[in-house]
Amino acid sequence: ELWQSAFAVLAVAANQEDAPKGTPQVLNEAFLSAANEARQKLPKLTSNQEVARLYRHSLKTLASWAVDREVINEEATKIRARFDAARGCAPAKAARLLQEGKDELFDSTHPDPYCVPFMPGGSLFMRNPPPPLSVCFPDGNYPEDAPTYTVNPDMSVCKPETGKSAIGSVLVDFTKKNME
């Protein structure tokens, strides 16, 4: 039902006849509204969790830029030293440093980041997804050892507390190579 309404909005936007000839049609508002309906709400993070995510994302960005393991290890040591130097600072300074770190990470983001082959954007993404139990056992008699969990498109187990739950709809953004 959600996708039908999104396609209806897109069809109406695509049939705009008041746009001058030769002007590209912009469907950003329609796409954004459909994406916002499908996007899941992220959990609120503590400042320690945000710093840990910033550190992890900075290492992943580093791995996209460097190929040699020795270079990666040297630069990772420098990044770790920068994070350790700011440890235990005042909350206001920590918030400022966190924002500066996010800005620096955004500026140094690789245009085509490395992604693990089985994640969105990888060559193995959803190559062998597990079939639903209703397909394997059409009569409904599931064996006792059958899995009782659902799997996200990136093959991780669905957990509502992580913000990634395939219950409902999941938006896979191939331009950012992630799942929202």
Chain center to CA of 56: 14
Q: Report phi then psi at 58, rounded to 5.
A: -65, -35
pLDDT-derived band at 42 (thresholds 50, 70, 90) equals confident
Q: Which residues have CB under 8 Å from 118's CB, separation 6+?
A: 124, 125, 127, 154, 155
Q: Kindly tell me if the per-residue pLDDT of 102 is higher than 70.
A: yes
Q: Which residues have CB under 8 Å from 2's CB, separation 6+?
A: 34, 37, 38, 169
Q: Please report, in angstroms and rounded to a whole number, the separation of the first and last CA atoms in the chain.
A: 19
Amino acid at 135: V
The structure's pTM equals: 0.55
Give the pLDDT confidence score for residue 9 in this predicted structure. Answer: 47
pLDDT in tens, 141-168: 888 888 777 777 666 777 767 666 655 5
Cα(60)–Cα(171) distance, integer angstroms:
22
**Average pLDDT over the chain, rounded to whole?**
77
Give the pLDDT confidence score for residue 115 in this predicted structure. Answer: 79
